Amino acid sequence: MNLGLVARISTIVDYCQCREAVYVYLRDWLNEYARRDNLPPRLCKISLLCLEGLAQIDTADLPLGGILDKIDKKRQSLILYYILSLDQLQDHLIKEDGCPMKQDPECTALTLGVLMRARRKMTDSTGPLEHPFDGHCVASVLGMITDIKEPSPPHDDIFRHHSSRWNRTSYPCCIGDEYTEAMECVKFDVDAGGDIDIILIGRVNTQEIIPVIETNYREFDRDQQDDQSFDNSPLSGRYAVFNIDGDNKTEDELPINFRMRVSSRHLILASKMLRAMLEGPWIENSLSSSKSGRREINSTGWDPAALAIVLDAVHGRYSDVPESVNLGLLTRISVIVDYYGFQECLRHIGNVWITNLRASCEMPKSSLKASLLWLSVAWIFSQKEIITSKSRIILMWSRGLDMTLALPLGDTLDTIEAKRQKLISKFLACLHELRGKLVRETRCAPMNNPDCPTMMLGKLARAEYCLETLNGHPVAPFKGLSIVGLLVAIARSSGQDMPMGYFGNPLKPFRTCSCTLVSRLADRYHEIDQEIQSFEC
């Protein structure tokens, strides 16, 4: 089946709102395309690079929701960032006394002149770059910047170097190097005498760790925690530089250039990955293009505060490392630890963080997001007890794997999902069996009441209608259904004890019957609870 046919089928499925009915088949259809070469993320990146504005696109009947709006918003923010960076660079060159290499004012004047002529050429060829930048894509703006002809500085003894950022050979006083340095720079010395600079461009609390959970489906369990509750806890001492003023926090802030000086010896001893990077034929093992001559490691996506804490711990600076951090910061730290393989080196301080966090706050009992963060932390630091307890909570509250995760969890989620589907299938089969029994039943057993089966049948039908299981037995993966949601829906529909004489003489005093849906399903409730309590990943 080719991609065009799959797209047409998907459009019909979206229009008819029958995603659950064809989920199993759609998953197989997309297997060749969506899972090959990590295709969906690549398509989003390609769209971000090539999109020239929403006015340039006719989506026809394709259901894209707000995806294009998000991509276009990101496109505008990136182009704005590049333009503001050029503005900052031009302002920096105007005020600069001399170039960084030789403090030569003529070199600075030459670079400034080249930049101003290039910007005038950009305006003449494409028109003014003004918000919302319709007709301009990220790739074209980047191309205009990287196509700027670099000047040859007028001073002597100049060496040329290969710039990985611009993928070409240039001079140390080139616009490309100045362009990066024009950003706000924060220097953080882990080892002042170190021989490597780790360069991280980003902002605090932007590392993607918080699960994005699908909320378009029926919900009986609402995760009330706001994403901002997982922001880093306030830091003190040498880490205060990473604190954010909440009143001035905006989504459109430009990234910051963090430069962290470290020792290659410590990194090599602590991480096999960094050993291969620094001792092998990688670019990080070559001379840096920086003016200091130190080697550089470029990293992206990490939280600056979390990375600084991890590097301090790797270098043995435990007097500076905080012993108490909140769940958000601990998760960001853990993801970095897992990526570089620092588990053995940071095992002790990791246990301290986990112990202190458990003592200072109550462990989540129903929050799916918090439980997923805890599960990731526990999986990275091999905390079996926490893995077991959090996996049981996720098993109860999860509505399927329809969520976006950037957390390392191994095959833990797959194990939980398989158990969830098994328990839901078993419980739905019990409901189907009970409905057939109530249809045939003439009187209830406890009070020999003829009205109980009739009323319970109606209540069960209403509950199944709410669960969208009345007119058909749903099949795996039961997208949008959680175990807790099923049990709560039946309990809500069950009501109190059944009144005898519902169809009888209203003048006679009522007696109550102990028949309820919950009482009829008590054994099944108990079985499911036992299976959840004994579940281990």
Supply the pLDDT for residue 416. Answer: 92
Query: pLDDT averaged over the chain?
Result: 77
Supply the pLDDT for residue 261. Answer: 94
Contact (CB, 8 A) for 173 and 107: yes
- The better pLDDT of the pair 502, 319 is held by 319
Which of 102-116, 276-290, 403-417 has the least mean pLDDT?
276-290
Contact (CB, 8 A) for 173 and 101: yes
Tell whether the model's pLDDT for residue 516 goes beyond 60: yes
Supply the pLDDT for residue 495. Answer: 62
Tell whether the model's pLDDT for residue 385 goes beyond 90: yes
Tell whether the model's pLDDT for residue 498 goes beyond 70: no
Tell whether the model's pLDDT for residue 436 goes beyond 80: yes
- The better pLDDT of the pair 65, 232 is held by 232
Tell whether the model's pLDDT for residue 268 goes beyond 90: yes
Task: For residues 179 and 114, give the distance between their C-alpha atoms in angstroms, rounded to a whole number.
Answer: 13
Mean pLDDT of 51-76: 76
Helix (H, G, I), strand (E, B) or coil at 201: strand
* CA count, 13 A, side-chain hemisphere, 97: 2
Q: Which of 449, 537, 459 is nearest to 501 (CA)?
A: 449
Supply the pLDDT for residue 258. Answer: 87
Confidence of residue 507 (pLDDT cuts 50, 70, 90): very low
Tell whether the model's pLDDT for residue 510 goes beyond 50: no
Structure tokens at 59: 């989506």
Structure tokens at 350: 């990791």
Mean pLDDT of 137-141: 79
Q: Which of 358, 355, 353 is nearest to 370 (CA)?
A: 358
Supply the pLDDT for residue 113. Answer: 84
Tell whether the model's pLDDT for residue 306 goes beyond 70: yes
Supply the pLDDT for residue 27. Answer: 62
Task: For residues 151 and 104, give the distance between their C-alpha atoms in angstroms, rounded to a whole number.
Answer: 14
Supply the pLDDT for residue 135. Answer: 82
DSSP-derived letter for residue 241 is G
Confidence of residue 337 (pLDDT cuts 50, 70, 90): very high
Mean pLDDT of 16-26: 70
Which of 146-160, 276-290, 473-487, 522-536 has the least mean pLDDT?
146-160
Supply the pLDDT for residue 333. Answer: 96
Supply the pLDDT for residue 14. Answer: 77
Tell whether the model's pLDDT for residue 215 goes beyond 80: no
Tell whether the model's pLDDT for residue 154 goes beyond 60: no
- The better pLDDT of the pair 273, 215 is held by 273
Confidence of residue 176 (pLDDT cuts 50, 70, 90): low
Mean pLDDT of 79-97: 81
Mean pLDDT of 174-193: 69
| Percent over 90 (pLDDT), the chain | 22
- The better pLDDT of the pair 285, 1 is held by 1
Mean pLDDT of 87-92: 81
Query: According to the per-residue pLDDT averaged within each range, which of 46-55, 103-112, 422-431 is highest?
Result: 422-431
Supply the pLDDT for residue 459. Answer: 83
Tell whether the model's pLDDT for residue 285 goes beyond 70: no
Tell whether the model's pLDDT for residue 75 goes beyond 70: yes
The residues spanned by each domain of the chain are 1-34, 44-152+168-176, 412-533
Supply the pLDDT for residue 313. Answer: 95
Task: For residues 298 and 165, give the distance between their C-alpha atoms in angstroms, rounded to a whole number.
Answer: 10
Supply the pLDDT for residue 199. Answer: 86
- Cis amide prior to 499 (ω within 30 degrees): no
Tell whether the model's pLDDT for residue 312 goes beyond 60: yes
Which of 30-44, 59-73, 313-327, 481-495 has the least mean pLDDT?
30-44
Strand ranges (DSSP E) for 228-354? 256-262, 295-299
Tell whether the model's pLDDT for residue 460 goes beyond 50: yes
Which of 185-194, 199-208, 359-368 has the least mean pLDDT?
199-208
What is the chain's length? 537
| Percent over 70 (pLDDT), the chain | 73
Supply the pLDDT for residue 358. Answer: 93
Which residue carries 């499911």 as its tokens? 528
Task: For residues 157 and 534, give the distance between their C-alpha atoms in angstroms, rounded to a whole number.
Answer: 72
Supply the pLDDT for residue 108. Answer: 77
Q: Which of 73, 13, 6 is nearest to 44 (CA)?
A: 73
Which of 70-79, 145-154, 367-376, 411-420 has the least mean pLDDT?
145-154
Confidence of residue 376 (pLDDT cuts 50, 70, 90): very high
Decide: pTM greater than 0.85: no
Which of 59-68, 365-374, 473-482 has the least mean pLDDT?
59-68
